[in-house]
Amino acid sequence: MREIVLDTETTGFDPRGGDRMVEIACLELENLTPTGRTFHTLINPGRTIGPEVVRVHGITNEKVKDAPRFAEIADDLLAFIADSPVVAHNAGFDRNFVNFELEEAGRPTLADEQWIDTLPLAQKRFPGMANSLDALCKRFKVSLVERTLHGALIDTRLLASVYLELKGGRERALDLSGPSAEHPRIEAGQSAYGERPRPLGPRSTPTERSRHADFLRATLTDTSLWARLVPDLAD
């Protein structure tokens, strides 16, 4: 199943109050596993980015001055998403900005049913606990090393790992992956190797075992545990 993990960075909280997107990133999943395909771009918001917001995501006015306007990337964005479900954390925030910008650009918006919000999934699993993306990464031991600031592409990678855990973890992803031409599934009961002997054969040489026995005879009594486990010691 194809899904798209999406994240945005903006100038504020309210698109209808004049705030705009400054970055958008999408990451493609196939059966919960990233394929390596992404869509990512900075966006010129057509307005000033305030210093308090720059401190959050590090995207300055200088960085976006030559970036495309949203209308210029809208078709490529829609083509990348297509009809796939869109996964986002606190999806209402991203949906409001994406759909507002699509509407302003005269493009079709993404239906509410197309969005999957990982926040209520996390709240259902961890009621009463902090369920921010950072908190979930720490809970699931997802590395935050590269996340010194918020960034749309970094956050999609982190969210993809969190979403996998929320959906059942890595075992679930492996179950969903199905057989492939490169890695055909080995059916139960079939093996390319013979049955392993039990007990396993010794890894030491006869000389090493003889020296070990001599050492034990010289240091242990006949009633020791080793004497019972290694009959040769009683000789």
Q: Tell me the catalytic residues.
A: 150
Number of helices followed by number of strands (H, E) in the chain? 10, 5
| Neighbour tally for 12: CB within 10 Å | 16
For strands 33-42 and 21-30, give the pairing: antiparallel
The single-letter DSSP state of residue 43 is -
| Neighbour tally for 193: CB within 10 Å | 5
- Which segments within the chain are labelled E, that is strand? 2-10, 21-30, 33-42, 86-88, 115-117
Quote the CA–CA distance of 125 and 162 in Å, as a whole number: 12
Tokens of 62: 């200088």
Tokens of 197: 């002997």
For strands 21-30 and 2-10, give the pairing: antiparallel
Quote the CA–CA distance of 155 and 56 in Å, as a whole number: 13
- Of the candidates 185, 189, 163, 166, the residue with the CA atom closest to the CA atom of residue 175: 185
Residues 89 and 117: beta-carbon distance below 8 Å? yes
- Which segments within 61-176 are labelled E, that is strand? 86-88, 115-117
